[in-house]
Structure 1
Amino acid sequence: MQKITTFLTFKDQAEEAATLYTSLFKDSRIINVTRYGQGMPMPAGSAMTVEFELAGQKYIAMNGGPHFTFTDGISLQVSCANQAEIDELWVKLTANGGQPGRCGWLKDPFGVSWQVTPANLGQLLQSPEPARAQRKMAAMLQMQKIDIAALENA
Structure 2
Amino acid sequence: MSKGEMSPVTPFLTFAGQAEEAMNLYTSVFENSEIIRITRYGPNEPGEEGSVMHASFSLNGQVFMCIDSNIKHDWTFTPAISLYTAFENEEEIQRVYEELSRGGQILMPLGSYPFSKMFGWISDRYGVTWQLQLNES
Relative to structure 1, is the Cα distance of residues 93 and 2 closer, same or farther in structure 2, using a 3 angstrom cutoff? farther
**Alpha-carbon distance, 1:8 to partner:** 0.7
Q: Output the CA distance in 2 between the equivalents of 1:91 and 1:2.
A: 34
What is residue 77 of structure 1 aligned with on the other side? 84
Q: Which residue of 18, 21, 26 corresponds with 1:21?
A: 26
Gap change, CA 1:21 and 1:2, over 3 Å in 2: farther
Between Structure 1 and Structure 2, how many residues are aligned? 120
Structure 1: state its 5+ residue gaps.
Answer: 124-154
SS of the aligned residue for 1:74 comes to coil
Supply the distance in 2 between the matched residues of 1:58 and 1:119 (Cα, whole angstroms): 22
Task: Find out whether 1:12 has 2:17 as its counterpart.
Answer: yes
Q: Offset at 1:2? A: 6.0
Question: Deviation per CA, 1:75-128, whole angstroms, max 9, x where unpaired?
Answer: 001101121111101110011x111111511011100000011122xx8xxxxx
Aligned twin of 1:94: 101
Separation of aligned partners in 1, 2:94 and 2:104: 14
Structure 2 unaligned runs (5+)? 1-5, 109-118
Which structure is higher in strand share? 2
Runs of 4+ residues over 3 Å off in structure 1: none
Is 1:114–2:121 an aligned residue pair? no
**TM-score (norm. length: structure 1):** 0.72
What is the aligned counterpart of 2:121 among 85, 102, 105?
105
Q: Report the structure, 1 or 2, having the larger helix content.
A: 1
Q: Look up the match of 2:56.
A: 51
Q: TM-score, normalised by structure 2?
A: 0.80
Q: Residue 15 of structure 1: SS of its match in structure 2?
A: helix
CA RMSD of aligned residues (A): 1.8
Q: Does 1:40 find its partner at 2:45?
A: yes
In structure 1, how many angstroms separate the alpha carbons of the residues matched to 2:7 and 2:28? 22
Secondary structure at the aligned position of 2:57 is classed as strand
Give the letter aligned to residue 71 of structure 1: T
